[in-house]
Amino acid sequence: MKGILLDTSFFVRLLNIEDPLHNNAKQYYRYFLEHEIELKVSTISIAEFCTKGSLYDLPFKDLKVLPFNIDHAVKAGEFAQIIHENKKQGKIETNPRMIIPNDTKLFSQAEIDDNIDAYISSDTRSFNIYSVLKSECNLNFEFMDMNISYNTRFGILDFEQ
């Protein structure tokens, strides 16, 4: 794996030691660093995070910031068309006020960036959107669900338990 796009939910869990998924986030983070997997954060996720957190809480020393650009915008529009069509058919639920959900924008960035192999999140709605896109497009990145421990995800035995 070359690189991973970290969702807002990843940082929320990583930085809150009382969050039930904090340990999972910490273990994934350590795994990514130990395996020299490039950690990317979108300016979109930074904006979401800053609604309740501080920009200065993010671990920028380990992160590469991925700005949302015109190529991402075009791909997000294509993805949003697929999501809206599936919403009309009752196959997926999204917030009715969103024109283009942020997940769709983030997925467009992961799709466009050749160095991103995966996207990590704990958000089940995000996974549902990913699943619809995956069924209709040949996406070149995988969705990693933070609800699944990194041991299970990577087949690592945990002898410390």
Strand partners, 47: none
CB 28 within 8 A of CB 152: no
Domain coverage including residue 120? 3-154
Q: Do the domain assignments include residue 92?
A: yes
Q: Do the domain assignments include residue 70?
A: yes
Specify the DSSP class assigned to residue 136: H
112 confidence band (pLDDT: 50, 70, 90): very high
- CA-to-CA distance for 2 and 38, rounded, in angstroms? 6
- CA-to-CA distance for 37 and 50, rounded, in angstroms? 25
Strand partners, 40: 5, 64
Residue-level pLDDT at 3: 98
Cα angle for residues 85, 46, 96 (degrees, 5° grid): 25
Strand partners, 5: 40, 119
For residue 56, give both structure tokens: 């200065």
Q: Do the domain assignments include residue 161?
A: no
Q: Do the domain assignments include residue 31?
A: yes
41 confidence band (pLDDT: 50, 70, 90): very high
Domains of the chain: total: 1
Query: What share of the chain in percent tops pLDDT 70?
Result: 94
CB 59 within 8 A of CB 100: no
Q: Do the domain assignments include residue 145?
A: yes
3 state DSSP class of 41: strand
3 state DSSP class of 154: helix
Mean pLDDT value across the chain: 92
- CA-to-CA distance for 83 and 104, rounded, in angstroms? 8
Q: Do the domain assignments include residue 160?
A: no
Q: Do the domain assignments include residue 117?
A: yes
Helix (H) or strand (E) holding 4: strand 3-6
The domain spanning residue 57 has which CATH number? 3.40.50.1010
Q: Do the domain assignments include residue 130?
A: yes
Residue 37 vs residues 87, 90, 92, 117: alpha-carbon distances, Å: 35, 37, 32, 10
Mean pLDDT score, 83-102: 75
